[in-house]
Amino acid sequence: MITESKIIEMLELQNLMNEKVDKDWRKKDNDWLFAASVEAVEMIDHIGWKWWKKQHRDIKQAKMELIDIWHFALSYFMTVKLTPTSEEKDIGDIAKEICTDIRYFIDGKRFEKSIENNKELNFVGCVKGFMHHAGSQIGFPMYYYLYLLRLCDMSYSELYLMYIGKNMLNLFRQDKGYNEGFYQKIWSGKEDNEHLSEILSNIDTSDKDIQVNITYELEERYICHLASEMAGHNL
């Protein structure tokens, strides 16, 4: 079970990332639920649901889409519940509500019984349910999101780690001139996302300095890439 402290950490990171894009992001009428639905559609393409053509299931990429959905989910929760005048307290309250929502479905045997009763609910059916719920604007489809996590065999620890990692990479990109066009996405022949995956495979989720350690590893690899590239130019 994911803890409130980890939810708070993710909310604070999401707010930081959103503010880098737009300081007044909470005042904008962004449709976060629709954005989450679009990511759900993109996720299903990695599952290989098209019966009229040969496809290969890519759970790794499906998990990345689930992380993107969570980015929009956290933004949605803050938009509908966060008041800028008391940000710290409200983020704590939001984290409690998110944890309450999660516990409602997974505590005891409720979630397991639901899965047992809905064995026929596959990826496509789950995404359809997610989109219908989100499209109705009645709130984030937590049940269907948790179900998709289960279908992808994704633990809450993995959700937390991948979310923190992706945020650190996004912030790293911004700091290295991503918006200005200075940033290089390919490091030593591999995309930065691949480097991130390698870094996360050696990270302990109980580490209190997880954000610092991820950023340090990204920095080290990026510096090595730039140094190697510069040496190549000087040959």
Q: What is the pLDDT of residues 177-189, one digit of tens each?
A: 988 898 999 999 9
Looking at residue 206, its pLDDT comes to: 80
Q: What single-letter DSSP state applies at residue 190? A: E
pLDDT confidence band for 231 (50 / 70 / 90): confident
pLDDT for residue 192 is more than 70: yes
Q: Are residues 46 and 130 both part of a single domain?
A: yes
pLDDT tens digit sequence for 97-121: 999 989 888 775 666 666 666 655 6
Handedness of CA 111, 112, 118, 123 (dihedral sign): positive
Pair 139, 167 in one domain? no
Domain count, the chain: 2
Calpha distance 196→95 (Å, rounded): 26
Confidence of residue 45 (pLDDT cuts 50, 70, 90): confident
Is residue 15 predicted with pLDDT exceeding 80? Answer: yes
Residues 134 and 80 in one domain: yes
pLDDT of residue 87: 53
- Tens-place pLDDT, residues 126-148: 899 899 999 888 899 998 999 89
Task: Verify that 50 and 128 share a domain, yes or no.
Answer: yes
Buried b (16+ CB within 10 A) or exposed e, 63-76: bbbbbbbbbbbbbb
Planar angle of CA 216, 218, 222, nearest 5 degrees: 120
CA distance 4 to 98: 8
pLDDT band (50, 70, 90) for residue 84: low
Mark whether 68 and 175 lie in a shared domain: no
Cα dihedral across residues 155, 156, 161, 162: positive or negative: positive
Distances (CA, A) of 80 to 9, 28, 146, 171: 18, 11, 21, 24
160 plus 215 within the same structural domain = yes
Listed residues 106, 128, 154: the one ending a domain = 154
Of 133, 154, 175, the residue that ends a domain is 154
**Average confidence (pLDDT) over 21-28:** 89
How much is the pLDDT for 113?
Answer: 65
Query: What whole-number distance in Å separates Cα of residue 152 and Cα of residue 40?
Result: 13
Are 57 and 69 in the same domain? yes
pLDDT score, position 204 = 84
Residue 213, domain extent: 155-235
Confidence of residue 83 (pLDDT cuts 50, 70, 90): low
Phi and psi angles of residue 187, each rounded to the nearest 5 degrees, phi first? -115, 120
Mean pLDDT for the stretch of residues 59-84:
86
At residue 13 the predicted structure's pLDDT band, cuts being 50, 70 and 90, is very high
Do 136 and 30 fall into the same domain? Answer: yes
Domain C-terminal end among 154, 186, 218: 154
Residues 174 and 137 in one domain: no
CATH number at 52 reads 1.10.4010.10
Q: What is the rounded CA–CA span in Å between residue 52 and residue 10?
A: 40
Query: 208 and 142 in one domain?
Result: no
* pLDDT exceeds cutoff 90 at 159: yes
What is the reported pTM?
A: 0.83
123 and 167 both lie in a single domain: no
Per-residue pLDDT at 104? 84
**Average pLDDT of 75-89?**
69
159 and 149 part of one domain? no
